[in-house]
Amino acid sequence: MKFYAALTAIFIPIMAWSPPVRADDAKPGANDAPPAAFQSLIDCRTLQEDSARLACYDKQVFALATARENRDVVIVDREQIRKTRRSLFGLTLPQLDIFGGGKDAEQEEEAFVQIETTIAAASQRDGHWTITLEDGARWRQTDTRAMARDPARGMAIKIRRAAMGSFLANVGNQTAIRVMRIN
């Protein structure tokens, strides 16, 4: 009992001292301002005089187009983001806010828990299958579970998130095997 009292005496002051964490602070990029070239274009809306506003828009659109051509600003739409997230499914990446952000991205990420596709190639080595999907993603079996039917080109495969960052793959309608993304 004395041990718990000592822990309480240590942790309560630490918790009281800790600065509050807002939900926006926890997400990388949540408080980042838009690129200067984009913000300057948006700021043109505040001009009241039509000719000044048009001149501002012309100038800032040219600056934004130049920034895009120089790859200082990259513009992607939601569909490109979705395709990129799908192609990266199963890879461990740093928490960067380069594929969108905000509530829409969180909901899309939560909904994106599996992929269903077709096998492009499969090979076995040391009792573990390596399966290449039609998009080029390669997955390696991590358990030693045998399958009733060997994976082959053209077969359907469903890969889904499992517990503790692992993934399960169902080849056809067979029992799932544990897999990990290798490329």
Dump pLDDT digits (tens) for 3-23.
444 434 444 443 444 444 444
Averaged pLDDT for residues 145-152: 92
- End-to-end alpha carbon distance in the chain: 51
Dump pLDDT digits (tens) for 70-112.
888 888 888 887 777 777 777 765 555 655 555 554 555 555 7
How confident is residue 37, by pLDDT bands cut at 50, 70 and 90? confident
Global pTM? 0.54
CA distance 159 to 89: 9
The yes-or-no verdict on residue 178 having pLDDT over 50 is yes
Give the per-residue pLDDT at 94: 57
Shortest CA distance to 120 belongs to which of 139, 143, 107?
139
CA distance 46 to 34: 17
The domain limits of the chain are 36-69, 114-181
CA distance 155 to 63: 50
- Are 105 and 37 in contact by the 8 Å Cβ rule? The answer is no
